[in-house]
Each structure stands twice: as structure tokens, then as C-alpha cells.
Amino acid sequence: MPGPVALRLPSRTLVIAAAAVPLALAVLADDVRVRRQLHTARRDPLTGLPGRDILMDRVDRLACGRREYLHVLVADVDGLKAVNDTLGHAAGDVLIAATGRRLSTWAAARGGLAARLGGDEFGVAVLLPPKSTVREIAALSGLLAQPVSREGHTLRPAVSIGTARARDLPDAAGASRLLRGADMAMYQVKTGEQPLGYVATRQDAYAPAAHGRRPGRPGTHLPAA
């Protein structure tokens, strides 16, 4: 049998190929750098937390393999306007930033993610044993209520929390439905209709909305549930 045939490339081809290697590495480095810049740009400048789109992606990912344990929370800081009006918006920012840090630390310890949805509202995707839902939410409420110092003033946060569990909703219910349910649950806790630790029902998750906003929120024309 004939022996192997050696492939001989012209020296010019070898030079061009060698020159292309650092160029490809440079393109790859630029791509990584751009991705990091985009990731940073999508984070809230005040809290450092990601936004709604990243939270929704995380919820959908966790729902694929950890649906039994997936909890979605919406947390809303109560009385922020009063703080802004009496102590200034800088004090309100301190309260928002402290709430964001606490939520992020709590969520990360439970395999989850916290995000700032806007204004004084946060969203969390976290993995919890279903039997521990009420206990965990009560502990989180206590954590968020810890005093915050600001230039000689002691701020005492109050945060309303609503929860939706993926296991309580149809398998087809994705991130938007879970977030809707948590938002509705939060609103009922805030208004005193339901106690702390209330978990959203299917009705909460499929409540009607105007332009994606919960009934009863400012800017909607739907009555409060």
C-alpha cells in the first residue's frame, strides 16, 4: 500500500494562517468584552441588580428543571414617598440600595437571583422547599425590616412581599404568569387583604392586566381585585 501523502502548503499560506490566529483571538476578546459591557449596562446603577429581562430568563431556566422548588417573589418598599418627602431622595435611595443588597444576598444563598423591577419594586427567583415557604418569607421580612442608618437618621424599612410557587400553577405557566401571581399576592399583603406569607393562587396568576400592569396600580383603568 502506498504510504501517507504529506500535504505541503505554500509558505505564503502558512504565513497568512499564522497571522489570522491573533486576529481571531482579538475578535473573540472583543466579543467577550462587549458581552461584559452589555451585562454591566443592563444592571441597575443604584443597586447593582439586574433588570426584569434577566430575572424572567432565570425564572424560565429554573422552571425547566427545578419547578417543584421554584418560588418567585415581588417585594415592594412601603412608605418610600414619605421618606423622600421628609428626608430627601438621597435617603430614599439609601433605603432602596439597602433593600436590594439584602434581597440579593438572601436569594444568592438559596440558589436564586434578585432584580430591580423599577422604582421601589424588586423581583426574586429562588429555590425553596415548598413546606418552608411561609417560614422563609417571614425570615426575609424580618431581614428587610432591619434599621438603616443615614446621616444620623435611622430608617426603618417596611417591605410587602408576595409569593408565587411554580408547583401551584399549570406547567404551561411561564415567568410572566409567575411574576403576575407574585405581584398580585404582594398587593393583597400590602393592603392587608392577606397575611404575610400569602402564596398566589391560579386566579392571581391569571388576573387581568392593562398594559401588563396589575389591577389597582396607578396608571391602570382596571379596578383593584
pLDDT tens for 117-126 read: 999 999 999 9
pLDDT tens for 24-67 read: 554 445 444 434 434 444 789 999 999 999 999 999 999 998 99
Instruction: State whether 61 and 26 are in the same domain.
Output: no
Confidence of residue 151 (pLDDT cuts 50, 70, 90): confident
Q: What pLDDT was estimated at residue 126?
A: 97
Instruction: State whether 34 and 56 are in the same domain.
Output: no
Which uninterrupted H or E stretch holds 121? strand 121-127
Q: What pLDDT was estimated at residue 199?
A: 97
Sign, CA dihedral 130-133-134-135, equals: positive
pLDDT tens for 72-120 read: 999 999 988 888 888 888 888 999 999 999 999 999 999 999 999 999 9
Question: Does the residue 210 lie in any domain?
Answer: no
Q: What pLDDT was estimated at residue 2?
A: 56
Question: Does the residue 4 lie in any domain?
Answer: no
Instruction: State whether 36 and 58 are in the same domain.
Output: no
Instruction: State whether 78 and 158 are in the same domain.
Output: yes
pLDDT tens for 177-196 read: 999 999 999 999 999 999 99
Instruction: State whether 78 and 153 are in the same domain.
Output: yes
Question: Does the residue 222 lie in any domain?
Answer: no
Confidence of residue 19 (pLDDT cuts 50, 70, 90): low
3-state class (DSSP) for residue 203: helix
Sequence-ordered alpha helix ranges (H) in the chain: 11-41, 52-65, 80-87, 89-108, 133-144, 175-190, 202-205
Instruction: State whether 134 and 174 are in the same domain.
Output: yes
Question: Does the residue 137 lie in any domain?
Answer: yes
Instruction: State whether 89 and 166 are in the same domain.
Output: yes
| pLDDT of 137 strictly over 50 | yes
In the residue annotation, 204 being an active-site residue is answered as: no
Domain tally, the chain: 2
Tell me which of 30, 44, 76, 120 is the catalytic residue: 120
Instruction: State whether 89 and 198 are in the same domain.
Output: yes
Question: Does the residue 63 lie in any domain?
Answer: yes
Instruction: State whether 30 and 86 are in the same domain.
Output: no
CATH code for position 158: 3.30.70.270
Instruction: State whether 37 and 147 are in the same domain.
Output: no
Instruction: State whether 61 and 148 are in the same domain.
Output: yes
Q: What pLDDT was estimated at residue 53?
A: 95
Domain of 27? 10-41
| Residues 120, 125, 128: CA angle, nearest 5 degrees | 125
Instruction: State whether 17 and 126 are in the same domain.
Output: no
